[in-house]
C-alpha cells in the first residue's frame, strides 16, 4: 500500500508510521483531532514542513497572530486560501515529496 493510500485509509486508527510528522499532523487534523495534530508539529518545531502545518493549525484555530509567526518561521507568506484548500494543497505537496 502506498503512503497516499495509507493516508486516505479512513478505517485506520492512526496515521501511517512511515509518514513524516507534518503528514501525520494533517492526518489527525482530517479526523478532527486538532490537539493531536498540534502535538505532532509542536514536537518538531524548526522543521519547515512542520512549521507550515503549525501555521495552518493556528490559522484554523483563528489565532492569526500565532499563525503569522509560524508562516514566518516556515519562510512562507500567510495563506489566503480557504482552510480546506490550504489543507488539501499542503497534503498533496507533502505526500508528493515523500518517497514511496
The tens-digit pLDDT sequence of the chain (100 residues) is 567 777 777 677 888 888 899 999 999 999 999 999 999 999 999 999 999 999 999 999 999 999 999 999 999 999 999 999 999 999 999 988 876 6
11-32 burial string, b = 16+ CB within 10 Å, else e?
eeeebbeebbbbbbbbbbbbee
Instruction: Tell the residue number behind the cell numbers 494543497, with chain if given.
Output: 89
Amino acid at each position: 500500500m502506498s503512503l497516499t493510500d495509507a493516508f486516505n485509509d479512513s478505517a485506520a486508527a492512526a496515521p501511517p508510521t512511515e509518514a513524516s510528522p507534518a503528514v501525520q499532523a494533517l492526518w489527525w487534523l482530517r479526523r478532527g483531532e486538532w490537539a493531536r495534530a498540534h502535538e505532532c508539529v509542536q514536537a518538531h518545531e524548526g522543521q519547515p514542513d512542520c512549521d507550515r502545518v503549525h501555521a495552518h493549525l493556528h490559522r484554523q484555530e483563528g489565532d492569526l497572530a500565532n499563525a503569522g509567526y509560524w508562516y514566518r518561521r516556515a519562510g512562507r507568506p500567510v495563506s489566503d486560501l480557504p482552510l480546506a484548500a490550504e489543507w488539501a494543497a499542503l497534503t498533496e505537496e507533502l505526500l508528493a515529496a515523500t518517497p514511496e
